[in-house]
Amino acid sequence: MSTVPADAGDSRTPGRRLAGWERATRGEVVARHGAGQHTVRRHNLALVLREVAGPYPVSRAAVAASTGLTRGTVSSLVEELISAGLVTELEAARGGTGRPASPLRLDPSGPAGLGVEIGVDSVGVCVVDLTGAVRARRVVGSDHRDDVPAVGLATAEALAAEVVAEAGLVIAGAAVALPGVVGTDGVLVRAPNLPRWVDVAVGDELGGRLGLHVQAGNEADLAALAELWSGGPADAVHVSGGIGVGAGILLGGTLFRGAGGRAGEIGHVVVEPDGPPCSCGGRGCLETAAGLEAMLRAAGAPDLESLVAAPPPDVLARVGRALGVALAGAVNLLDVPAVVLGGSYPRCGAALLDAVRAELAARVVSRPAVDVRFSTLGADAALRGAATAVVHDLLADPTSATTKRP
């Protein structure tokens, strides 16, 4: 079981931003570097699939011209991809001169990715098909702060069964988003808001329950990738705000996880040295000022819906200032031009956004204005990112595809 790969590839559609993509260009012969026949075949399959996964259907002739492969080779590879359920051939357009070409596209009924998010107080599951479309999704309340991991895993298992049945697609694999530090070996090392989830091999344990290979990743990292894949900035800090506060860091379109997977723990950056105690054991962490529960306490609101219905500007301004203090340090250190506010933050509106912008403008003076924006995916980003990461891996290595159908 492996963690979600950091390398997210070259573009913004599932077929063009591929984890682990081998960067040979336009039919370059991999075999000359000593690769075997299987490696060449896998490379060429992925090369063809990358062209098919573009924004518009393409013909076999166009794929051959773009990749530098012969038409005969492309035709053989396309037949293999069709057989694997990854590509479908559309009906040829009529009315032109000559023999009409049959355009190719990714098969929306082909193998799909299963995304799971186990949060502090919820579990979500979704299925994303090869085109990046969400085919089924469900989120339920499930508080895990006082329970052993087996309780949350059982909830995820049951919900996954329902969502997979609804989607009706072959599931190629799964990824799970987690609210804590996920090591390079895929083990959830620590989650400050889940005190009983320590050194848990969540991917392996959930994989055993689902009968699938399950990758594990930090929820903020997966949210950052999802935002990138949906057209977001390639250099950014993506802040995921919920009960906990985490960040995914993107540098040049690649996820930066740090030496041990601990990068992005912005929720435990101190913004008030003598502030209130935090679940991590420290004091005055960003989470104590900008976490969802801290926001609700300050606003006297029972839940996020109530806060959104009557947002108190003074509370949102204080939250924005705290976020700005922490983010100014990140921007000054990493030289990223953009900040994306995700999770529950987009629902808080312009008052929060304006406060973060003002604080960054005051504290980041050595570079042009930082682009501060809300996430386009909001609270669904990590869940979408988990499922889509599976699709990217599948498209990067088409030899792993199955020909089975539900």
d(CA 160, CA 349): 32
Count of positions (residues) in the chain: 406
Domain boundaries, the chain: 30-106, 112-223+381-400, 233-375
In one-letter notation, the amino acid at residue 19 is A
pLDDT at site 156? 97
pLDDT at site 93? 63
pLDDT at site 99? 56
d(CA 55, CA 50): 11
What architecture (CATH level 2) is domain 112-223+381-400?
A: 2-Layer Sandwich (3.30)
pLDDT at site 41? 85
* Of 333, 347, 195, 179, residue with least CA distance to 251: 333
The residue assigned the tokens 């085109």 is: 131
Q: Quick one: tokens of 15?
A: 């077929």
Strand pairing of 236-241 and 338-343?
Answer: parallel
What architecture (CATH level 2) is domain 233-375?
A: 2-Layer Sandwich (3.30)
Q: Quick one: tokens of 62?
A: 């166009």
Using DSSP, state whether 135 is helix, strand or coil.
strand
Cβ contacts of 309 within 8 Å, gap of 6 or more: none
- Tell me how many degrees the CA angle 320-324-325 measures, rounded to the nearest 5: 120
Question: Which residues of the chain fall short of a pLDDT of 50?
Answer: 1-2, 8-35, 402-406
pTM: 0.87
* Of 373, 8, 2, 1, residue with least CA distance to 226: 8
pLDDT at site 336? 95
Cβ contacts of 131 within 8 Å, gap of 6 or more: 14, 105, 106, 108
Is there a shared CATH topology between the 112-223+381-400 domain and the 233-375 domain? yes
What architecture (CATH level 2) is domain 30-106?
A: Orthogonal Bundle (1.10)
Kindly compute the dihedral angle of the four CA atoms of residues 230, 235, 236, 240, in this order, to the nearest 10 degrees. 50
The tens digit of pLDDT for each residue in 109-133 reads 999 999 999 999 999 999 999 999 9
pLDDT at site 3? 58
d(CA 329, CA 132): 34
What separation, in Å, do the N-terminal and C-terminal C-alpha atoms of the chain show? 25
